[in-house]
Amino acid sequence: MKKDQMPSGRRAVLRLAAALGATATVGVLAADRLAAPDRAAGAASAPRRTPGAGAGPGTGAEPGAAGPAAGPGAKAARPNPNAYRLRPMTAYAPPAYRRALPPVRQRPFLSVAGAGRSMVLTFDDGPDPRYTPGILDTLRRHDCRAMFFVCGEMVVENQDLLRRMAAEGHVVGNHSWSHPLIPKLRPSRIRDELGSTSEVVERVLGTAPLWYRAPYGAWNRHSFEIGAELGMEPLAWTVDTLDWTEPGADSIVRRVLDGAAPGVVVLNHDAGGDRSQSVAALRRYLPELLDAGYRVTVPRR
């Protein structure tokens, strides 16, 4: 037998060993290729942290627990090469619907266009458990909808009232967190006041406000810009009942009835002081408006 000759059985064993080795090598390379896109997808899907989210103005708090360290020194754990099998395919999923942001206004809306003799009743500064329930009771009795511009610090303590507003068809608007004079604030503080209130309303109701009103009716350019960024339109008023001065229920009723007209927006308050006169006045002027042919409604967006 020549030296280069080998029994057929031994040659078969060597061929089998070579084939198994090549298969293992290909498997390792394939697994490494599959792991690379998985790592990239994991990095791209990492959530961004929103400054100030979930905290009241001026707290400086940031949401959630601290995530893993980021930067050149951070080591990312290598994902399981087979993890991609558990990921759903989203390439053909329809995009999530997002409402288009409104334009940046230069002044707030003072009235609301509508069909026929429609008016809008608005209530600021609440919700307040002493007065808001009585206002809601009267509106429900007459099957009318209104707008409530709420303050974030009041919402935190009265979330059930906010849920009742939404459940009964009323529109919840943003009236800042702590009712400050907006033009005296830095833009970052304005963002905190409006942004934190929108966040707490969305957390309670599932949707963020689409309307906002500056405290004291004091607007500035920054408030219009930030409000638009948050997806809100600015709404002021046509008729001021001056109920915050506690002029008496008779005076409040007279101002509403004298100012009644199609498209009018009426300013009332359900918090921020003794609002018992506002509650009593609504019981009187609302049925008179309805008897006069007015439709009390809310704007749509």
> Got the DSSP string for 44-58?
HTPPPPPTTTTS-TT
Residue 127 confidence class, pLDDT cut points 50, 70, 90: very high
- Average pLDDT for 126-130: 98
pLDDT tens per residue, range 217-263 = 999 999 999 999 999 999 999 999 999 999 999 999 999 999 999 99
pLDDT at 211: 98
User: Residue 295: pLDDT above 60?
Assistant: yes
pLDDT at 100: 86
The answer on pLDDT for 63 being more than 60 is no
User: Is 39's pLDDT higher than 80?
Assistant: no
Catalytic center residues: 124, 269
A 10 A CB-CB count for 65 gives 5
Give the mean model confidence (pLDDT) for residues 259-280. 97
Give pLDDT tens digits for 113-124: 876 899 999 999
Phi (first) and psi of residue 275, to 5 degrees: -110, 25
Average pLDDT over residues 169-178: 98
- List, in sequence order, every beta strand (DSSP E) within the chain: 118-124, 147-150, 171-174, 211-212, 233-234, 239-240, 265-269, 295-296
For range 23-31, the mean pLDDT: 43
Using alpha carbons only, what angle is made at residue 260 by residues 257 and 266, rounded to the nearest 5 degrees? 95
Which of the pair, 14 or 204, is modelled with greater confidence? 204
Compute the mean pLDDT over every residue in the chain, rounded to the nearest whole number: 79
Band the pLDDT of 99: cuts 50, 70, 90: confident
Residue with tokens 């409604």: 297
Could you tell me if 212 and 235 are in contact, meaning their C-beta atoms sit under 8 angstroms apart? yes
